[in-house]
Amino acid sequence: MRRVVRIGCALAFLCMVALSAGGAVAAAADGPTGSFTIDNGAAYDEDGFVSIQYQASGPNPIAVVYTSVLAQTDADGVLVCPTQWPYGQAITTFALTKPGCEDNSNDGGTKTVYVQFVDSAGLHSPVYTQTIYWGSASPPPVWTLNPQFQFSVPQTVTATSVAMRASWATSPSSNVTYDPKLSINSGAFKTPIGVAQTATAFTVKGAWGRFLQAQVTPVDSVGQSANPPTKYAGATAHWFDQTDARYVTYTGTWNNASSTGFLGGTDRYATAKGATVTFSCGCGTISWVTSVGPKRGVVNLAVDGTSVGSVDLYSATAGKRRVMWSYHFPTNGPHTLRLTVAGTTGRARVDADAFLVG
């Protein structure tokens, strides 16, 4: 059953709505919908009063706008303890604090504003939310890139060592320290040698099969932390030979080559446009080992069936066991990397030496 909010007009221009306590957010299926911004999208406010820009629509004229700093709703999903405004009235001085009627009573920090619309038939919208930072300082750091490990690019791997790069990002990034730390094989977290407190990445080189963890804790110049204050990334680097039929499939013509310079002693290469090799893994980071040189061409890349660009393997100097590209997935799980020979004129060859996971 839909909730109809009874509107009585104590004033000609303002319709008041009866409310009760409790409940979860719900909305009438045929009620209004809308949206709003705070201070025209500003990141922070200094005085505790903000403007609200809003709009709504529905099958009936919109009558009232509710604004609140308290998340609580009644049993029908209507905000309790709101400030009420006639729809269309400019909201220029909404207070970010309301004693007894707010999520938290802090005069500062991140505040959440809740807005709801009621139409002339008494039907209400969902509750919409936006946040703004209240304080004289800039907002605290916000994570924009969770810490992650990828294979360092470019690099030359060996049978005994590989380089992995941990990176992360926040907004803002200036005047922020990250206290980056590294743990190897579940040992103590330590600051990597030569890595600054303000660094947004570090590289670690060592044996295959080590469990690497990065720990990052952003703090700005006035002591504000991100939320959550610390995040972690983990990876263990392994390689799989291009002959491993459990995970590697080919289409088109691929030729065999042998050399002690290859990671596993052998290599497969193709020159025909459209020839593909696909590697499947349960992983978070993926790459492949290839060769570069004057006769090496462009390879098109796709992960999980979606194109992610191409890599040109041309180099004036020939080289084996090269890692020229790396990709990090948002979540671990079954993933694929497909290489497709582009057929570059005069230098079409593309090599698959090994595939990497982390």
pLDDT tens for residues 215-257? 999 999 878 899 999 999 999 999 999 999 999 999 999 999 9
Token code pair at residue 4: 């109809």
Q: Is residue 281 part of a domain?
A: yes
- Per residue in 305-335, pLDDT (tens digit) is 999 999 999 999 999 999 999 999 999 999 9
**Which of 134, 169, 198 is at the close of a domain?**
134
What pLDDT, on the 0 to 100 scale, is given for residue 172?
87
Domain of 80, in residue numbers: 7-134
| Exposure b/e, 50-67, CB count within 10 A at least 16 = b | bebebebebeeebbbbbb
1, part of any domain = no
Best-predicted range by mean pLDDT among 3-17, 46-60, 125-139? 46-60
User: How far apart are the C-alpha atoms of 6 and 189, rounded to whole Å?
Assistant: 60
With 90 as the cut, is the pLDDT of residue 133 above it? Answer: no
Residue 21 has pLDDT above 70, yes or no: no
Same domain for 245 and 276, yes or no, is: yes
Average pLDDT over residues 107-125: 92
pLDDT (average), residues 170-191: 96
Q: What is the pairing mode between strands 49-57 and 231-236? A: unpaired
Verify that 118 and 188 share a domain, yes or no: no
Q: Which domain-ending residue is among 84, 99, 134? A: 134
Q: In the prediction, which pLDDT does 177 show? A: 97
Which pLDDT band, with edges at 50, 70 and 90, does 3 fall under?
very low
pTM of the model: 0.66
248 and 324 co-located in one domain:
yes
State the pLDDT at residue 187: 98
Report whether 36 contacts 54 (CB < 8 A): yes
Find the CATH number of the domain harbouring 161: 2.60.40.10
Query: Exposed, middle or buried by CB within 10 Å (0-12, 13-18, 19+), for 150?
Result: buried
Q: Are residues 301 and 193 in the same domain?
A: no
pLDDT for 26 beyond 70: no
Mean pLDDT of the chain: 91
- How far apart CA 183 and CA 236 sit, in angstroms, is 12
Q: In 3D, which of 304, 281, 303 has the Cα closest to residue 354?
A: 281
Tokens representing 10 are: 């104590």
Name the residue among 95, 108, 177 with its Cα closest to residue 139.
Answer: 108
Residue 4 has pLDDT above 80, yes or no: no
How confident is the model at residue 298, as a pLDDT? Answer: 98
61 with 178, same domain?
A: no
CA atoms within 13 A on the CB side of 88: 7
Q: What is the pLDDT of residue 323?
A: 98
Instruction: Look at the chain and report how many structural domains it folds into.
Output: 3
What average pLDDT does the segment 70-95 reach?
Answer: 95
pLDDT score of 13 more than 80: no
Of 71-80, 103-112, 274-283, 321-330, the one with minimum mean pLDDT is 103-112
Same domain, 256 and 311: yes
Residue 7 reports pLDDT greater than 50: no
Same domain for 166 and 189, yes or no, is yes
Q: What is the DSSP string of 219-276?
A: EETTSPBPSSS-EEEEEE-EEEETT-TTTEEEES--EEEE-TTSSSSEEEEE-STT-E
In a domain, 2, yes or no: no
Q: Which has the higher per-residue pLDDT, 174 or 119?
A: 119
Is 199 a residue whose pLDDT tops 80? yes
For residues 11 and 94, membership in a common domain is answered with yes
Chain centroid offset of residue 337 CA: 21
Residues 64 and 125 in one domain: yes
Does 164 lie in the same domain as 78? no
**Separation between Cα atoms, residue 65 and residue 70, nearest integer Å:** 15
The total of other beta-carbon atoms located within 10 Å of residue 249's CB is 13
CA dihedral 42, 44, 49, 53 (to 10 degrees): 20
Annotate 77-107 with b (16+ C-beta within 10 A) or e (fewer).
bbbbebebbebeeebeebebbbeeebeeeee
Where does a domain end: 105, 134, 163? 134
* pLDDT for 28: 58
The conformation of residue 41, written as its DSSP 8-state character, comes to G
Q: What is the pLDDT of residue 222?
A: 79
70 within 8 A of 98, measured Cβ to Cβ = yes
Which residues pair with residue 86 across a beta bridge?
Answer: 64
Q: How far apart are CA 207 and CA 202, in angstroms?
A: 17
Mean per-residue pLDDT, 32-49: 92
Stated as kind and residue range, the H or E segment containing 176 is strand 176-177
Question: Is 56 or 17 the better-scoring residue by pLDDT?
Answer: 56
- Which helix (H) or strand (E) segment is 64 a member of? strand 62-68
pLDDT tens by residue, 261-295:
999 999 999 999 999 999 999 999 999 999 999 99
3-class SS string, 67-83: EEECCCECCCCCECCCE
pLDDT of 276 reads: 98
Q: Do residues 228 and 337 share a domain?
A: no
